[in-house]
Amino acid sequence: MEGLSKEEDMSFYFIRGLIALAVAAVLLAPPLRAEPLNPVAMIEKLHGKLISVMQQAKELGYAGRRDALTPVILASFDLRRMTRVTVGHYWKEMGAAQKDKLTHAFTEMTLSNYALRFDGFSGEFFETLGTLQTPRNDTVVQTHIVTSDEKIRIDYLLRKSNEKWGIIDVFLKGTISELAARRSEYMSVIRDRGVDALIEAVEKKAMSLADNS
């Protein structure tokens, strides 16, 4: 380069080469993966979205609430595992297509339920109370939803699978398991009428929730 000594010229090209290598390393590096949410962060993100949707409930309408809640519910709940729990040992006897259809119907019903339940806002807010570890290394996140005249206990049971936490049960008032009630109902239907009858029943339930919105 004009005006530079041989040594300075070599130093210039060496430094320029290092800069080029550094830039290439940044550009070619794989994108950083987001850290999976821990149980408390996952529940608080879910609660934040629920409150946001409740505040806009009338403007959004049922369909808007369902659309707004779908991403956070799918990210927070392990819906396939929940479906499996509701049918107990019958899961092993089901074909792959039956498992997929039942999981889809259960998911649709869950989304519709949440869109229907959280349909207005009167100043409610959620409180996180703490966590418990179970003997199976699952985590229970204990919470309240606080209304104008009461605190309603809602506990979430989360399990880690493939490095990601997911809700596998919800306990109203800290003791009433949503899955336990469904398990009793679903297994009874399978015993009496078979798996396909259960799939049809859950599909109809999901549609009826949407129709009654």
Domains of the chain: 39-211 (3.10.450.710)
**What is the enclosing helix (H) or strand (E) of 131?**
strand 125-133
Residues, the chain, total?
A: 213
Give me the residues paired with residue 132 across strands: 140
Per residue in 158-208, pLDDT (tens digit) is 999 988 999 999 999 888 999 998 999 999 999 999 999 999 999 999 999
Q: Rg (Cα) of the chain, in Å, rounded?
A: 25
Contact 213, 62 (CB under 8 A): yes
pLDDT at 76 over 90: yes
The whole-number average pLDDT for the span 54-70 is 97
pTM value surpassing 0.85: no
